[in-house]
Amino acid sequence: MIPVQGYAGRKVAVLGLGRSGLATARALKAGGAEPLLWDDSPEARAKAEAEGFACTDLMKQGAFDGVACLITSPGIPHLYPQPNKVIARALDLGVPVDNDIGLFFQSLGAADWAKFDTAPRVICVTGSNGKSTTTALIHHILQVAGRPTQMAGNIGRGVLDIDPPQDGEVIVLELSSYQTDLARALTPDVAVFTNLSPDHLDRHNGMGGYFAAKRRLFAEGGPDRCIVGVDETEGRFLANQMAQGPEDDRVIRVSSGTKLEGFGWSVFARKGFLAEWRRGKQMASIDLREISGLPGAHNHQNACAAYAACRALGLAPKLIEQALQSFGGLPHRSQLVGERNGVRFVNDSKATNVDSAAKALQAFPKIRWIAGGMGKDGGITALEPFLGSVVKAYLIGHSARDFALQIGSTPHEICETMARAVARAAEEAEPGDVVLLAPAAASFDQYPNFEKRGEDFTAQVQALLS
């Protein structure tokens, strides 16, 4: 783990005892702090107490006496739609509020780094869609290249749970807007912004607040190199703010679909080919079309961002290309889970919003589309331009009937459950079709999270194919 620095002998309150909360408590203890833990769940408190931690109701009178800082888990609102009552109490008392990301950056450097030939580096990836795949892809490329690397944050392990980095190691972190919004310290060496589309708007009081949370990683983090997706206005604005001019190669602009030649450094994908341009010259080209782990234009954008991050570390294009070829993809993100009689079954359960579902619908020519769940504000009417590839929709969950009214003349069937949707889609599919789970909705009506929804789809497909 990374022992937390700066709080030895002091009390630090920890709110929320999930994966990141318990990892934070252990790292605080390792750094000599006295963690005071709280979670509304008796089960979570019992688990913490079984590890020897003290649980203290932080709303009790005097609970914050002598407390140096409150560390909160990312899922707990700290500002909008309104602060959690414990956080509100800390704000009233002037107790600093931070999260594990802030503690990580505050505590990462160690005295033994002076002995290293190459100091460890941190790559942080944020954005609305594709950040998990981009993070995992960077990590995979580094592994293939033989570079010591660890992956953590919003994917894999908690940031304070990783091992102290070795000489020349690269730590790759996926960071959500919840994490970047609150962290008091943000000092990545390389920062990646994939794209921006509406999501978590209640937590950020709208798109402006959502973008501002992502922007903090760059504007306040001061990375040595910025990789910025410029397919949306916000990305172009961010790249403009971070660069001294179009020739400034500290900013690497990334696009899926737009040729970017007039900049100091750019990486873009067009018609399935990745191209790297630097100072007016093409440096490399990679054919992405047959890479099974990266289907569709949205994954080509992820490939461009990961390629740019690894080029910023000095890796050779041919080595990166080799690693792209062996990338298997992530579960629940354009994941091929089976094939029968020319029909492929693809699990994109992570497509929980309209933008990510639109990207999934553009990745394949003939789709049997399984969609539905707990619909988000605005429904799915914005998907109408992307329904041309949908042969038929099979609608499940709470919003199935609402979705049926929002997809116009697209053939559809109300299936309610995943089991029926998979069975009906498989029964009607023809060679060349893709049975695609891309829900465009949250999972909480029928599943605890998108992973469980994807696992159910996978189980139904495997039972069908066995």
Residue list for the binding site for ATP: 127-133
Annotated binding-site ranges: 127-133
Helix-then-strand count for the chain, H and E: 15, 20
Q: For residue 351, give Cα distances in angstroms to 146, 174, 347, 404, 435.
A: 32, 17, 9, 18, 14
Query: Measured between alpha carbons, how far is residue 255 from residues 130, 139, 224, 225 in Å?
Result: 13, 21, 20, 17
Q: Tokens for 280?
A: 């007016």
DSSP secondary structure code for residue 111 in this structure: G
Q: How distant, in Å, are the alpha carbons of 4, 122, 135, 149, 302 from that of 169?
A: 19, 9, 15, 5, 22
- Cα gap 101→74, rounded to integer Å: 10
Nearest to 254 by CA among 175, 295, 186, 311: 311
Helices (H), 116-220: 131-144, 177-182, 201-204, 207-219
Beta strand residue intervals within 96-198, DSSP E:
97-98, 121-126, 149-153, 170-174, 190-193
Distance CA 30, CA 49 (A): 17
Report which of 188, 189, 138 is spatially closest to residue 308, judged by C-alpha positions.
138
What is the spatial distance between Cα 225 and Cα 272, in angstroms, rounded to a whole number? Answer: 26
| H runs (alpha helix) in 78-130 | 85-93, 100-107
Please state whether beta strands 335-340 and 343-347 pair in parallel, antiparallel, or not at all (unpaired).
antiparallel
